[in-house]
Amino acid sequence: FAEPISGRKVSNYCIDLPVGQNQRKTFAIPRDCPSVLQLIDDGSFYRSSVLDRRIWQKVESDCRYHGFLNRHPLEEMEDHVTTYDFMNARLDDLPIDRRCAHDEMPEGRAGCNPSATDAFGLLHHIPLGVPQGESATTHEGSACQLHDGVFRGRLHVDAGGIHCDAEPNLPSLRLIGVDFADVNGDRVLDAVLRFIPLGPGAVRLPMTLPVTRFNDSGPFTVPELDLDLERPSPPQLR
């Protein structure tokens, strides 16, 4: 977790939250996550200021993420993910469904895999598109990959693959953490990536992308989840 206010990386933290007018209660995260989520789901939380609302959102995001990671015990796992360098991942190694990439192509969106990367919100934060009259294959000026967890540039997706232009001032994504868990109980270890958008006006709550693979050199895919509600949902507070 990132500790509220300080931003330090911690495995647990205590936070003082408003639970009523002139009433506050200290919660230990993740130990008290069930109580926090019960208050949120019951609509019993209290927010008196913008700061309180943001802290509630952050705590909710941490608790739902912790629950997602710990749905299944890590016992006798088949592991093909921990040796991969996700902080310097090639974007075409990630399970991006190219049919999800361009809003101007409704026929592509119709075939978009609802369980692919787009379902987790990543493509909405990477500048996409090809200037009119140009082929995406002309845009190969930079490697399409994260560098120390950051991608800045413009992404071009076509039938031939993923191509990039380096544009340091464009808003994009930062990978802030990689955790390992069995998110669907199939005894194959998954990597759970947490991204935050970069750029003016970006919401700083993390987006989660789980990925897995079935051999050390195979392609990454999104783990099969039985139900939509098994995915790490965004905070419910508005």
- Residue 74 belongs to some domain of the structure: no
By mean pLDDT, which of 144-153, 202-211, 217-226 is the weakest? 202-211
pLDDT for 169 equals 74
- Residue 170 belongs to some domain of the structure: yes
Q: Are residues 111 and 156 in the same domain?
A: yes
- Compute the distance between CA of residue 125 and CA of residue 90 in angstroms, rounded to an integer: 17
Position 236 pLDDT exceeds 50: no
Q: pTM (2 decimals)?
A: 0.75
Average of pLDDT values for 228-234?
48
Q: Which residues contact 22 (CB under 8 A, 6 or more apart)?
A: none
Q: What's the pLDDT tens digit per position in 201-212? A: 666 667 788 899
- Residue 42 belongs to some domain of the structure: yes
Position 223 pLDDT exceeds 70: yes
Q: Are residues 182 and 100 in the same domain?
A: yes
> Per-residue confidence at 172, pLDDT binned at 50, 70, 90?
confident
Q: Are residues 55 and 95 in the same domain?
A: no
Q: Are residues 107 and 204 in the same domain?
A: yes
HSE, side-chain direction, 13 A CA sphere, residue 13: 19
Asked if 4 contacts 57 with a C-beta cutoff of 8 angstroms, the reply is: no
pLDDT for 114 equals 47
| Residue span of the structural domain in which 173 resides | 86-230
> Per-residue confidence at 170, pLDDT binned at 50, 70, 90?
confident
Q: Are residues 124 and 30 in the same domain?
A: no
- Residue 78 belongs to some domain of the structure: no
Position 139 pLDDT exceeds 80: no
- Residue 99 belongs to some domain of the structure: yes
Q: For the packed helices 50-69 and 33-41, what is the interaxial angle rounded to 10 degrees?
A: 120
Position 185 pLDDT exceeds 80: yes
Question: Would you mind telling me the total number of residues written for the chain in this entry?
Answer: 238
pLDDT for 15 equals 94
- Residue 124 belongs to some domain of the structure: yes
Domain count, the chain: 2
Q: Are residues 145 and 170 in the same domain?
A: yes
Higher pLDDT, 86 or 47: 86
* End-to-end CA, the chain: 22
pLDDT for 54 equals 87
Structure tokens that stand for 225 in this block:
């989840």
- Compute the distance between CA of residue 37 and CA of residue 20 in angstroms, rounded to an integer: 16
Q: Are residues 97 and 141 in the same domain?
A: yes
Mean pLDDT of the chain: 77
By mean pLDDT, which of 50-64, 84-98, 99-113, 177-191 is the weakest? 99-113
Higher pLDDT, 72 or 110: 72
- Residue 7 belongs to some domain of the structure: no
pLDDT for 79 equals 96
pLDDT for 237 equals 45
By mean pLDDT, which of 67-71, 130-134, 154-158 is the weakest? 130-134
Q: How far is CA 143 from CA 28, 118, 126, 174, in A?
A: 42, 21, 15, 16
Q: What's the pLDDT tens digit per position in 50-73? A: 888 888 989 998 999 999 999 898
